[in-house]
Structure 1
Amino acid sequence: MTETVNGPSGAARGRKTTKRAGKGLTINRVYTTEGVHPYDEVTWERRDVVQTNWKTGATVFEQRGVEFPDFWSVNASTIVTTKYFRGAVGSDTREQSLKQLLDRVVLTYAKAGKDNGYFATDADAEVFEHELTYMLLHQVFSFNSPVWFNVGTSSPQQVSACFILAVDDSMDSILNWYKEEGLIFKGGSGAGLNLSRIRSSKELLHSSGGTASGPVSFMRGADASAGTIKSGGATRRAAKMVVLDVDHPDIEEFVQTKAREEDKIRVLRDAGFDMDLGGHDISSVQYQNANNSVRVTDEFMRAVEEGSEFGLRARTTGEVIETIDAKKLFKDIAQAAWECADPGIQYDSTINDWHTTPETGRITASNPCSEYMHLDNSSCNLASLNLLKFLQDDGSFDVDKFVKATELIITAMDISITFADFPTEAIGDTTRKFRQLGIGYANLGALLMASGLAYDSDGGRAFASAITSLMTGTSYRRSAELAGVVGPYEGYAQNAEPHARVMRKHQAANDAVRTMHAMDIAVHREATKQWAQGIEIGTKQGWRNAQASVLAPTGTIGFMMDCDTTGIEPDFSLVKFKKLVGGGSMQIVNQTIPVALKKLGYTNETIEAIVEYIAEHGHVIDAPGLKTEHYEVFDCAMGERSIKPMGHVRMMAAAQPFLSGAISKTVNMPETATVEEIGDIYFQGWKLGLKALAVYRDNCKVGQPLSSGKGENKGKDSNAAKPAEVVETVKTVVVEKPIRKRLPKTRPSLTTSFTVGGAEGYMTSGSYPDDGLGEVFLKLGKQGSTLAGVMDAFSIAVSIGLQYGVPLETYVQKFTNLKFEPAGLTDDPDVRMAQSIMDYIFRRLALDYLPFEVRSQMGIHSADERQRQLDTGSYAPVEEEVSEPESLKTKPSESVDQAEGRGGVEAKDAKPSAAAEAEIKRETQVDGDMVAESARPAPKQAHTSAELLQVISGTEVDAPLCFTCGTKMRPAGSCHVCEGCGATSGCS
C-alpha cells in the first residue's frame, strides 16, 4: 500500500502535487479506485435506533433515520449511533450518518499527516484518506473508542484508551495519584500503577520515627475515589490496575486483601444486607474497583519450583527484612484467586526482558486489562484488525492485503500522536517521546474455525503465531520506514541497542515457529520477510515507535466491526441471535460453521443436516455425518465441549513472543477447579513465557445477580452445639416413623408452562386444601425419552418427600442455584434467569407456596417485590397477606381418578386452566396408574440479543449487569462487554 520515496512522486500518475523538501510516503491504492469515493461504492439505508429500559420498558434512547451501509448489522449501527455519534440527541448538530463520523476522524488524520510531513504529495494524502475510509467503512479494522469519542470534536483530542501512572514514596505523590486517577476515570478511561515504591507497614518513617502505613492502606482511599466517580454518573465502573512486587514486605497482606473482603461480603449478606452487584450495601466493602496483580520475578518462581525461601526487601534500603516460604506464598496467591479471582499475576522478568527502552526506565505496571505494558506515566492508542476480512473465498488468507492494511493503520496511529491531547503533562511528554502504539486483532477464533482448525490444537496455534508475527513484523518495518520520513522516537538514541536486541528476539521467535498447513506456511513466509526487512531498515534509520502491538479485549469496537469473536478469544457459542431491523431477534447458527464444514470437505447436503442439528441442540455431539475427529474444530468458550483452561493458556503462549505488549485475557475455570489447578495455570504461564495472566473460577464471587439471600458460611458452623451442651442434652431418643399424608381426590392445582435456556416444559403442582404443596409433576422432553423418564422419577421422589413431611423450604434451599444445562433466560417475569431447570422450578414453587418472610430470607422475590424494593427500599408490601399463597386462589380442578403410582406416590391427571389447555396437545398414555402428558411449546418472547445469547451459551452468572442498559455482560478479554449496547467494564 505504501513505500518510502525521496521527494514528490505523484506527477507520474498525472496528478497535481505539492513538492516538499525531504522524504515522504507514497501511498498506493489497494482497496479503492482513483476517481471513485468509497462512499459511492456502497448502498446506504436509513434506520431507526430505539433503546428501551429492560426493566420498565421506557425509551432511554431514540434517534430515527440514521444512515448506514446496508451490510452493517443492526447491532453495529445501534452501538455506533448510541456511543459514537456526537452532538445532543434531537439537535440539528447531532451526527446522523456513518459518513459524518468517518469524515470527522479520517479527515483529521489526513490533515495531520499532511501538516507533519508524512506524505510525499497531496495526492498521496488523498489516497491515504480514501484507503483509511474504505477500511473503516468495510469494517476491516477499527480505532479504539476514544478516537471515535473525541477526534474532530471540540473536546480534548484524546486518542488513547490505556494509561500507566506512577507513585513515589511521598504524601505529595500519593495525593497526586488520587487526583490523576480521578481525572482519567472522569474521562471514561482506566489506568494502572505499581505501588511497590511506597514503604511497607514494617518500615519506619524517617521524619517522625513512626511506622509507615503501607501501600494497602492507601489503596483504600483510591478505591473510594474510584467508586465515587463511578457512582457519580459514569456509564461503566472505573477500570484500574494495582500492582505490587512479590518482594514487597506487605505482599502477603496485598494478596489477601480482596479475599478477606469477599469473606466480609458473605457475612454481611447472611446478616440480611444487600450485597448483590449494584446492591445498596456493596459499597461498604473495599478494594472492589480495581484488578490486583502480583509482580513475580524469575528468582521468585525458581524458589517456588525448588521449594526454597525468598527474601522480602525494604523499599528504602533494599535489604532483606523478612524471609518467607516461596511455595507457601505462591499457594496463598492461588488460594486468593480461587476465592475471589484476585490477584492476577504479572511475570516481571519476562516483561522487562522484552523491553525496548530499559535505559529510560523499567516496566513496572500495566493498564487495567494488562495488555499495555511500558514506561510509567505513558499511554497507548489502540487499533484492531478484523482477521475474518482477510479470509478469501477459496479459503486462503490474503497475506498481501493484510500487510498493506497493517502498514497503513500503523501510519495512521503514529500520526494521531502529533495532534493528541493527554490527561496529564507527564503522560503527554512520555508518549510523544516514545510513541507507543498498540495494533492488534479480533476474530481469531472465528478465523480458525472457518479455516477448519481447532482453537486448542497445534495447527490453530501455528496459524495464530504466524499471523501475530506477520502483524508485528510489518508494524515494526513500517515504523522503521517512518523513522526515515519523520525521524525515530525521541528516546531511541539512548535505547538503540536494547531496541534492536528485542527486534532480534522477535525474529528468532518467528524462526522457531513450526508451520503445519499451506495457510500458515504462506503467512509465516511473509512474516520472515517482514522481520528481515524491518531489522535491516531499522538498523540504519532507527524506529519511530518504542512499541507496536498488543492484544486488547476489542469489546465495543468488535461489535462495531461485526466480529464473531473478540481479541484472542475463541468463539463464545455455536448458536447466536441476530438483531433484526424494527426490533426483535432471530436465532441463527454461527455463520462460520458452514464455511468450516466446507473447508473440511463436507457436501452441501451433509452441511445442511449438521447445521440443522446444531440449531436444535446447540452443539455438534452426534451431529449426523460429522466425523468425531472434527468435533474439536467447533469447540467454544461455553457449552458442551468448552475449551479447557490450558487450551487458552497455550494459545496465549503462541501469540505472546510476537507482541510488544501483552494479552488481555482471563482464563475461565469451572466452579470445581481446585487451588492446585489455579496454581498450575499460574506456574505454566511463567514456563510458557507469558507476560501476564488472570483466572476466574466460575461462581467464586458472592456479589452476583443470581446469588441467593442465604449462603454457605466459611469456617465453623455458628449453630453447632458446644461440647458441654452436648453432654447436658444427651437423653433417650425415641425415633418416630414418619406418616404419609395423602392428598384428597379433589384438590387445588396449578399448571405452569415454562422455558429455561430454550428448553420448554410444564409443571403441575397439587396442594392440600389447607396445608401447602403436596405433589409436583414435571413434563420435559419427548414422551419415552430418557429426560422425560428422569423427570418423572424426580417428580415421584419430591412428591413422596412432601407427603412424608419434608418442608418445601428444604427442597428450595437444596435445589436453587444448582447449575447445569439448559440454563439462561426464562419466560417468567418473576424468575428472569435460571442456572438450571431445577433452579427455576424451585424458585417458582417458592414464589407460589412459601410465605413472603420465608422466601425473602432466601433472596427469592417476585418482579413486583423487586420493583417495590427499587421504589421504596423494601421488598415487603405495606400490608402483607400470607394466609393463602396467590397460586391457591384458583378454582380447584375437577376430581380425578387416583391410584397408587410407581414408587408409592399418588398420580393424577390435573386439569389445567382454559388458557393452558389451549396450549397443550394431549397425548395421553397410561402406564400402570401413571398418566403422562406431552405439551406443545409455549409462544416465544422477543428479547434483546444479549439476553438471547445467554439462552444458547449458558448464563454468565458472575458477569456484571450493564450500567447502561441493565442486561448481563459477557467476557471480552479481562473485561466484560454488553452485546446489547456496546458498553464495557474496562478498556475499549
Structure 2
Amino acid sequence: MTETVSGQSGQGSRKTRNGAPQVRRTGLKIDRVYSTAGVHPYDQVTWERRDVVQTNWKSGETIFEQKGVEFPDFWSLNASTIVTTKYFRGAVGSDSREASLKQLIDRVVLTYTKAGRDNGYFLTEEDAEVFEHELTWMLLNQVFAFNSPVWFNVGTSAPQQVSACFILSVDDSMDSILNWYKEEGFIFKGGSGAGLNLSRIRSSKELLNSGGTASGPVSFMRGADASAGTIKSGGATRRAAKMVVLDVDHPDIEEFIETKSREENKIRALRDAGFDMDLGGRDISSVQYQNANNSVRVTDEFMRAVEFGEQFGLTSRTTGEVIEYVDAKALFDKMAVAAWECADPGIQYDGVINDWHTTPESGRITASNPCSEYMHLDNSSCNLASLNLLKFVKDDGSFDVEKFTKAVEIVITAMDISICFADFPTEAITETTRAYRQLGIGYANLGALLMESGLGYDSEGGRALAASITSLMTGAAYRRSAELAGVVGPYDGFARNAEAHRRVMRKHAAANDTIRTMHPMDIAVQRAATQEWEASLKIGEKNGWRNAQASLLAPTGTIGFMMDCDTTGIEPDFSLVKFKKLVGGGSMQIVNQTIPRALRKLGYAEETVEAIVEFISEKGHVIDAPGLKPEHYEVFDCAMGQRAIAPMGHVRMMAATQPFLSGAISKTVNLPETATVENIADVYFQGWKLGLKALAVYRDNCKVGQPLSDAKATKTEVPTAATVEKVVEKVVEYRPTRKRLPKSRPSITTRFTVGGAKGYMTAGSYPDDGLGEVFIKLGKQGSTLAGMMDSFSVAISIALQYGVPLETYVEKFTNLRFEPAGLTDDPDVRMSSSIMDYVFRRLALDHLSFEERSALGIYSADERARELATGSYLPAEDDAEDVEEELETLAQSAPSEKAEKSEKAEASQPLTTGNATSQLPVVNVDGAATAKSAPTAVHSSAELFEAMQGRTSDAPMCFTCGTKMRPAGSCYVCEGCGSTSGCS
C-alpha cells in the first residue's frame, strides 16, 4: 500500500526543545508490492550474456556489433537488441559504453530516486529505498517502460530531456515564425516530436501592414518541412516527427487540405518517370510537406453546418471578420478526398478537446503532439510511460486490480519526480511544464489482453473491459496526483483553474458510471475504478491535484518491443502469426502464444486447442479451424487478414476509452484499398458524433509504396469537386480485329510451384515477336480447378490476339491475392500472392522490354542484384551484350535448369516479404530455422504473406536495417531493430 503520511508535526506555535519551530514532516509511505525486503531485484532473475550484431541489409556489412551484453534470460533477443542499439549510452568499444541492462536501469532509477529524496517525496529513507526497488523490479520484469527520451538522456551528460511530446506556438510575425523553426530543431535533436497550430498566421488573402499580400501559413510550412527533413531525431536515423494543425475557419484552409495530396500526385508522376520516390529515396527530397502530419481543427459549429448542409464563414486572422462563406459539406468532402488520396489531413475535434480541458483559464488547447495523443497548453511538454497489460493477468485469467492500481501509483510518482530535474529545450516550455506538470500514463498490449480473455476487439465485451481498465488507470493516476498535492503541493496553475479541473474530474467519474459491464472481469475492474474516482474527488477537493494532465494512449512503438508486447498501444493484434528471433541469427514463424491461452479460456479441450493452433500455423487464420465454434471467430480478429476488423470497429474502441483519458489516442483507422471517399467521410463524421478528440485514417496503397508495392501501378480515378463536360461532335465506332497465330510458332514452357501447388505454363509467340497465347495446366485433368485455368487461358489468349497489350494484364493481375500463394521455385519471382500474380510476373519477364517492366516495378534476380551492387538495374555499357546473352540463355533454359538454379538461390537470394527482409532460412526436420545471415524471418505461409501485404505494403523500409516496418499508432516501427518513423 502506498499512502500519504504526515509525520509527528505541529502547528506554527509548537517548538522543539531548543526553541526552533518544529517542521511539519510529510511524505509518501511506500510498501512493497513486487520487490522483497532484503533481496535486490537483480538477484531474483537469471542473467545471461548475448552478442548483438546488426548487418546492412544491402551490402551485408556489419553496422553494429556489441558482444557480451547482459540481459535476463526471459528477455527476447528482439528486446535485448533494441535496448542495446537504441538505449545503451557511450561509444561502442569504449570503457564508458553500457553493456548490461543493470547499468541502464540504474542510470534511470537512481536519478529518479535521488530527485525524489531531494524534493521531499518520501517520508523516510526506507521509503525511498522501497521506491527504488519497486521501480527497478517493474522495469526489469517489463511491467512498464518510460518513453524513449528517458532512456536516451537521463543520467547522462546530455540535457536530461524526459518528455517525448511537445506543443509549440507561433504568432503572426516573422520573428515568431523563424523562432518556430529553431525551437523545432532543438526538440528533434533531443529525440522528441512537436506540433503546433498555424492559425494565428494571417492568410494569403489578407494584406500586410506594408500593403503587400501575405504569404500565408502554407508557404511557411515549406521552410519548416525542409528543416525537419535535415535533422535526425535524437541524433539517430529516423526522421523528425511533427504535427501541423490549421483551424477550419482559416481562409487558407482549402490550400492546406490539398497540400499533401497534390504532392502525392507529384510523387506518383516522378515515380512513373523512373525517379526513386520511396521514403528515404534519393529523389524524394524534391517534393514538399513530407515530414509532418497535417490535421484540420474542426469546431462543433462547422460539423453542425456539415450535418445540415449550411454555409460556413472563413474569418480574417487580423480583424476577425468573415472573408468568405463556403459550403461546409463541400469543404468537409474535400478533406475526405485528400485523406482518401494520401491519408492527410487528419481531423481534430475542437469542441470535445476544450470541453475536457482542466486549465481553460490559462489558455485554450489549440494543437497536439505529432501523433495527436498529447493535447494541452501551447509551449508545453508531456513525458510518457506505458504499462504492459498482460503483466496483470492472474493465473486464473482474472485481472489483478490491486497490482495494477499500485503500479499506476509508482509510475505516476516517478513521472512527476522527473519534472523536478528534467531539462527542456526552451524557457517557455520549461515554465509551462513545471507550472502544470503534464503526465501521460498509458498502456500497451490491449489487443493481446482482450484475445487472451476470450473477448473480441470489436465487441461490447471487449469495449467494456478496455473502458474499465482505462477508467481505473486514470482514476488511480489522479487519486495519486491528489495525494502528491498533499505532499509537495498542487501544480502552480491549479488555483486559477480549480473549478474547471474539478468539473473535468466529475465528468470522468460520471462517464465511469455509464460503462456497460458484461463479464466478471470488467465488473471487478469497473467497481475498482468507481472507488478510485470517488477517492480522487475527495482527496482532490482537499489538496487539489499535482498534475493538470495524467493519461493518454501513445503508440508505444520502440518501448513496446522493449517490454516484449504482442500489441502496441490500443491496437488490436496485427496477425495471428508472430516472428521469433533465433540465437545466432535468423528467425522462425510461430503462432501467437496468446491464442492457446484464449482457447483454454473459452473452454476448449487440450487436443482441440492443439488442432486449432496447427491449423492457424498452416493457414494464418481461424476460418473453418477444426472444432472452433463460429461464434468465437471474433475473438481472433486482427488488424489484417481474412477477418480484418472493420474501420468502425477501431472507431468504436476509441470512443469507448476516450472519456477516461486526459489526452487523446494515437491510432490510425485502417481502411482497405477499395474504401471510398464516402467511407472516409463517414469515419470522420462518426468520430465527432462519438466524442473523439482526434482521428487519422489510412487507406491501403494510398501512398507510393516501397519496392514490394511499386509493382502495383494501377491508376485509380480520383473524385474531384468539378466535372469536365466533353462535347462529342462525331461518333466513330472502331472494332478490333483478331490476329491469329500461325500453326507453327515459338513457345516457352515453364514449370512452376507457388505455395506448394505445381503447374506448367506454355506461352506461344508470333514469329515477328509478341505474346499471342497462354496455356496453364494446374490440377488434375477434369477437376474444377483445371477447367477454370483452361477457360482462363483461352480468354486471355483470344484477348491477346485481339490486341490487348500484355502490360495491361500484368498491371491488373500482379498482386492479386488468393490461395495458393507463398514461396515459388523461380529465382526471379521468389514470392507470389497468387497463381495469377506469378503467371503474369513471369510473362512480363519473358515478353516485355526492360523499360516496360521497369515502369511496372518488375525486375529479374540479376537486375535486382545489380541494383543493390551498383545502384542501377541496367548493366554498364561495355557489359550490356554479355548480360543480354546471359538473360536470353536463362529465359530459354529448361525447367529442370530453372529448378536447379532455384534450389541454389534458396540460401542466398535476398527477399523482402511483408515486413521481413532476410535470406531464406533452411528449415530442419525438427522445425528450427537457420540462415547464414538473416536479421528477420522469411515465412512460407500464404495467409501470413497476404496479411502482411495489407497495411505493410505501404510501410517504409527501416533506415537502419532494411526490414519492413509495421504500424504503431500513427507511425511505423521496425521489429528488427526498434527504429521508428517518427514516434518516441
TM over 0.5: yes
Cα 1:823–1:234 shift into 2, 3 Å: farther
- 1-structure distance, mates of 2:781, 2:498: 74
Counterpart for residue 900 of structure 2: 915
Q: How far off its partner does 1:832 sit?
A: 6.6
2:962 is the counterpart of 1:966: yes
Of residues 493-502 and 939-948 in structure 1, the stretch that sits farther from structure 2 once superposed is: 939-948
Q: Which residue of the other structure, out of 950, 954, 960, is the alignment partner of 2:948?
A: 954
| Deviation by residue 1:208-240 (Cα, 9 ceiling, x = unmatched) | 111111111111111111122259974111111
Cα 1:892–1:691 shift into 2, 3 Å: closer
Asked if the contact 2:149/2:161 (under 8 Å) is kept, the reply is yes
Cα 1:250–1:819 shift into 2, 3 Å: farther
Q: How far off its partner does 1:72 sit?
A: 0.8
- Structure 1 unaligned residues grouped into runs of 5+: 10-18, 717-721, 895-909, 920-936
Q: How far off its partner does 1:92 sit?
A: 2.1
- Structure 2 unaligned residues grouped into runs of 5+: 10-21, 720-724, 905-921
Of residues 858-867 and 429-438 in structure 1, the stretch that sits farther from structure 2 once superposed is: 858-867
- 2-structure distance, mates of 1:570, 1:863: 37
SS at match of 1:957: helix
Opposite residue 120 of structure 1, the aligned amino acid is L
Counterpart for residue 417 of structure 2: 415
- 1-structure distance, mates of 2:551, 2:727: 67
- 2-structure distance, mates of 1:213, 1:980: 44
* Superposition pairs of residues 290-301 of structure 1, within 5 angstroms: 290-301=292-303
Q: Which residue of the other structure, out of 313, 316, 319, is the alignment partner of 1:314?
A: 316
Q: How far off its partner does 1:90 sit?
A: 1.7
SS at match of 1:333: helix
Counterpart for residue 681 of structure 1: 683
Of residues 276-285 and 354-363 in structure 1, the stretch that sits farther from structure 2 once superposed is: 276-285
SS at match of 2:361: coil
- 2-structure distance, mates of 1:403, 1:837: 53
Counterpart for residue 219 of structure 2: 217
- 2-structure distance, mates of 1:723, 1:249: 33
- 1-structure distance, mates of 2:349, 2:820: 39
SS at match of 1:359: helix
Cα 1:763–1:30 shift into 2, 3 Å: farther
Asked if the contact 1:8/1:24 (under 8 Å) is kept, the reply is no
Q: How far off its partner does 1:362 sit?
A: 0.5
Counterpart for residue 203 of structure 1: 206
- 2-structure distance, mates of 1:174, 1:330: 28
- 2-structure distance, mates of 1:427, 1:740: 76
| Deviation by residue 1:857-878 (Cα, 9 ceiling, x = unmatched) | 3332345434555665543222
Counterpart for residue 395 of structure 1: 397
Asked if the contact 2:754/2:820 (under 8 Å) is kept, the reply is no
Counterpart for residue 195 of structure 2: 192
Counterpart for residue 153 of structure 2: 150
SS at match of 1:677: helix
- 1-structure distance, mates of 2:867, 2:512: 59
Counterpart for residue 859 of structure 2: 861
| Deviation by residue 1:686-723 (Cα, 9 ceiling, x = unmatched) | 0100000010111111354322496538689xxxxx99
2:185 is the counterpart of 1:182: yes
* Superposition pairs of residues 131-142 of structure 1, within 5 angstroms: 131-142=134-145
- 1-structure distance, mates of 2:772, 2:812: 18
Opposite residue 741 of structure 2, the aligned amino acid is R
Q: How far off its partner does 1:314 sit?
A: 1.0
Cα 1:763–1:351 shift into 2, 3 Å: farther
2:981 is the counterpart of 1:985: yes
Counterpart for residue 15 of structure 1: none
Cα 1:916–1:873 shift into 2, 3 Å: closer
2:118 is the counterpart of 1:115: yes
Cα 1:191–1:271 shift into 2, 3 Å: same
Q: How far off its partner does 1:838 sit?
A: 3.1
Q: Which residue of the other structure, out of 465, 470, 473, is the alignment partner of 2:472?
A: 470
Counterpart for residue 13 of structure 1: none
Counterpart for residue 632 of structure 1: 634
Asked if the contact 1:852/1:882 (under 8 Å) is kept, the reply is no
- 2-structure distance, mates of 1:72, 1:54: 25
| Deviation by residue 1:149-207 (Cα, 9 ceiling, x = unmatched) | 1111111111111111100000000000011112222233211000000001111112x
* Superposition pairs of residues 861-880 of structure 1, within 5 angstroms: 861-866=859-864, 868-869=866-867, 874-879=872-877, 880=880
Q: CA RMSD for the aligned pairs?
A: 3.1
Asked if the contact 2:450/2:462 (under 8 Å) is kept, the reply is yes
Counterpart for residue 45 of structure 1: 48
* Superposition pairs of residues 294-693 of structure 1, within 5 angstroms: 294-693=296-695
SS at match of 2:218: helix
- 1-structure distance, mates of 2:434, 2:459: 41
Opposite residue 836 of structure 2, the aligned amino acid is M
- 1-structure distance, mates of 2:716, 2:399: 54
SS at match of 2:362: coil
Give percent identity, aligned residues only: 76
- 1-structure distance, mates of 2:426, 2:691: 33
Cα 1:91–1:849 shift into 2, 3 Å: farther
Asked if the contact 2:188/2:234 (under 8 Å) is kept, the reply is no
Asked if the contact 1:135/1:141 (under 8 Å) is kept, the reply is yes
2:5 is the counterpart of 1:2: no
Cα 1:420–1:232 shift into 2, 3 Å: closer
Opposite residue 915 of structure 1, the aligned amino acid is E
- 2-structure distance, mates of 1:352, 1:313: 20
Asked if the contact 2:145/2:386 (under 8 Å) is kept, the reply is yes
SS at match of 1:310: strand
Asked if the contact 2:825/2:902 (under 8 Å) is kept, the reply is no
- 2-structure distance, mates of 1:472, 1:414: 15
SS at match of 2:246: strand
Opposite residue 951 of structure 1, the aligned amino acid is F
- 2-structure distance, mates of 1:752, 1:357: 67
Q: How far off its partner does 1:608 sit?
A: 0.9
Asked if the contact 2:340/2:702 (under 8 Å) is kept, the reply is yes
Q: How far off its partner does 1:48 sit?
A: 1.3
Cα 1:889–1:540 shift into 2, 3 Å: same
Asked if the contact 2:754/2:821 (under 8 Å) is kept, the reply is no
- When normalised by structure 2's length, the TM-score is 0.89
- 2-structure distance, mates of 1:85, 1:883: 47
Asked if the contact 2:591/2:616 (under 8 Å) is kept, the reply is yes
| Deviation by residue 1:484-515 (Cα, 9 ceiling, x = unmatched) | 11111111111111011100000000011111
Q: How far off its partner does 1:29 sit?
A: 0.5
SS at match of 2:54: strand
Cα 1:273–1:107 shift into 2, 3 Å: same
Cα 1:230–1:408 shift into 2, 3 Å: closer
Counterpart for residue 899 of structure 1: none
| Deviation by residue 1:224-257 (Cα, 9 ceiling, x = unmatched) | 1112225997411111100000111111111111
Asked if the contact 1:188/1:236 (under 8 Å) is kept, the reply is no
Counterpart for residue 933 of structure 1: none
Q: How far off its partner does 1:568 sit?
A: 0.3
* Superposition pairs of residues 788-807 of structure 1, within 5 angstroms: 790-791=788-789, 793-795=791-793, 797-798=795-796, 807=805
Counterpart for residue 738 of structure 1: 739
Q: How far off its partner does 1:821 sit?
A: 6.6
- 1-structure distance, mates of 2:394, 2:566: 17
SS at match of 2:566: coil
Asked if the contact 1:20/1:120 (under 8 Å) is kept, the reply is no
Counterpart for residue 926 of structure 1: none
Of residues 298-307 and 789-798 in structure 1, the stretch that sits farther from structure 2 once superposed is: 789-798
Of residues 343-352 and 802-811 in structure 1, the stretch that sits farther from structure 2 once superposed is: 802-811
Asked if the contact 2:392/2:404 (under 8 Å) is kept, the reply is yes
- 2-structure distance, mates of 1:724, 1:326: 32
- 2-structure distance, mates of 1:827, 1:2: 63
Asked if the contact 1:272/1:709 (under 8 Å) is kept, the reply is no
SS at match of 2:658: helix
Counterpart for residue 16 of structure 2: none
